Amino acid sequence: MRTVLISGGGIAGAALALLLRRGGFAPVVVERAPGVRTGGQAVDIRGAALDVVDRMGLLPEARRMRTRIRGMSMLDADGREVERSTEYALSSGRLDSEDIELLREDLVRSLHEHTRDDPAVEYVFGDAITSLHEHEGGVRVGFAHGPERDVDLVVGADGQHSGVRRLAFGPAQDFTRHLGSYLSVFSADNFLGLEDWQVWLRDGDAGFGIMPVRDNAELRIAFGFESGPLDGDHRDTEWLRRLVVDRLATLRWESDRLVKAALEAPDFYCDALAQIRMDQWSRGRAVLLGDAGYCASPLSGQGTSLALVGAYVLADALARTPGDHRTSFAAYETRMRPFVEANQALATENPGGPPSEESMTRAKNAITLPGAAR
């Protein structure tokens, strides 16, 4: 049984582990965090990704986990409602769509639960890949904490700041296209008393969207602000937290409670909005998946769908030519690249707002899936 080492236990990595196992491989998932990550924004499963989730047998479960938003309000900088809709929400699009919005942590947990008890699937938490040395027949992989391993293939599903990409291809700046802003996501108690209703506000070069989750007991706050690339460590949570707190403090509405929430949130997250653009996604026995190879940014609304579709296409390609990774990787890229390009374009076509409904419909369906992964 061929061993595939997957760096990253998020949506892309966990989905690939499930699909590879069904194809007869032995996946090993290495995740830097000490356990399955919690927190994060609501994400969307759209178009071709719905078909992927259906083929995985997880569509009914995904529908049960979907958010229950009834509508949204647009507020001015002082918190006064200037527009409302019960047909559309900025986080998800049309509320009568077949597309599914759910919390990122719920999707990751579901994917993990469907693989964690399989003896052929291994999860290694609290560790990270530090070296890759390809040799005849495989790759010797070094880790920050665990012993070296020999594996057949390595998949970088480790996000925008991929360590596998750095080791196999070079520094991040060679492939990163900054989109002019930063996004922070964190949780708080429902201090606004929202009931299945989200609110959006813009104040100068900053703004936020707030939606209730967990039967309206909790809020997920997505705060963004315009900025060029900042000189700091993307893993320095406290530096990023202070940066966000300083920006929140300048808002005219609810700034005090938003600052308090950002300071206290155990799941605080912040990163630059950027895209990853690469001429190829594989080198030798290493290949990239999801944000590691083709991050479209949250502005596209399609990061989760790209991860799910990419995992399916890669697993299918590996299952079709199990002893020939070069042919598998080439087939994966040939099928995925037009889909990736269509969805990355969503983030840049309308910098001041979400993609148009017409563009989203076209992009989310811009791929024909191969037959069921074996």
3-class SS string, 191-229: CCCCCCEEEEEEECCEEEEEEEECCCCEEEEEEEEECCC
Q: Which two tokens stand for residue 113?
A: 């639960």
Sign of torsion over alpha carbons 260, 264, 268, 272: positive
Is the CB of residue 252 less than 8 Å from the CB of residue 279?
no
d(CA 308, CA 195): 30
- The label of the residue with tokens 């969207």 reads 209
- Neighbouring CB atoms inside 10 A of 182's CB total 24
Quick check: 373 pLDDT over 80?
no
Amino acid found at 27? P
Residues 6 or more apart whose Cβ sits within 8 Å of residue 193: none
Q: What whole-number distance in Å separates Cα of residue 277 and Cα of residue 169?
A: 12
Q: Helix 357-364 crosses helix 325-344 at what angle (to 10 degrees)?
A: 170
> Residue 372's pLDDT band (boundaries 50, 70, 90)?
low
Per-residue pLDDT reduced to its tens digit, 283-323? 999 999 999 999 999 999 999 999 999 999 999 999 999 88
DSSP category for residue 173: G
Asked whether residue 355 carries a pLDDT value surpassing 90, the answer given is no
pLDDT of 21-69, one tens digit each?
Answer: 999 999 999 999 999 998 889 999 999 999 999 999 999 999 999 999 9
Tell me the Cα Rg of the chain: 20
The CA-atom distances, in angstroms, between 198 and each of 208, 209, 252 are: 10, 7, 19
Name the residue ranges covered by the structural domains of the chain: 3-41+103-175+275-364
The answer to whether residue 374 scores a pLDDT higher than 80 is no
Report the first-to-last Cα separation within the chain, whole angstroms.
Answer: 14
The string of pLDDT tens digits covering residues 157-214 is 999 999 999 999 999 999 999 999 999 999 999 999 999 999 999 999 999 999 999 9
Higher pLDDT, 136 or 62: 62
CA distance 119 to 291: 28
- Any alpha helices (H) in the chain, and if so which ranges? 11-22, 48-55, 59-64, 104-113, 163-169, 237-248, 255-264, 291-294, 303-320, 325-344, 346-349, 357-364
pLDDT at 353 over 80: no
Quick: pLDDT tens for 103-123. Answer: 999 999 999 999 999 999 999
pLDDT value of position 137: 86
Token pair for 318: 């590996």
Phi, psi of 31 (to 5 degrees): -125, 130
- What does the block give as tokens for 14? 């966990």
Chain mean pLDDT for the chain:
95
Residue 371, CB-side half-sphere exposure with 13 Å CA sphere: 4
Tell me the C-alpha distance between 241 and 104, whole Å.
21
More confident residue, 40 or 269: 269
What is the fold, at CATH topology level, of the domain defined by 3-41+103-175+275-364? FAD/NAD(P)-binding domain (3.50.50)
